[in-house]
Structure 1
Amino acid sequence: MATRPTEGQPAPSFSLPTNTGDAPVTLSDYRD
């Protein structure tokens, strides 16, 4: 990963470039 959260900060919630924009990206979208 190019960008990492700074220490003590939570990582972004699955903000992946594969998001189509129809809905927020959630973990369930990637649990196939």
Structure 2
Amino acid sequence: MRPSVRATHPPRRTLLSLITLQTLNPITTLYRGYF
């Protein structure tokens, strides 16, 4: 994660998007591995 983002304390929207991206990244990589 970027230190600047942590320092700025992003709103819930960006934080939620960050969490979703963190969870979706491994899933997409798994799909790429299978397909």
Range of TM-score over shorter length: under 0.3
Q: Which one has a larger percent helix, Structure 1 or Structure 2?
A: 2
Higher relative contact order (CA 8 A, sep 6+): 1
Q: TM-score, normalised by structure 2?
A: 0.18
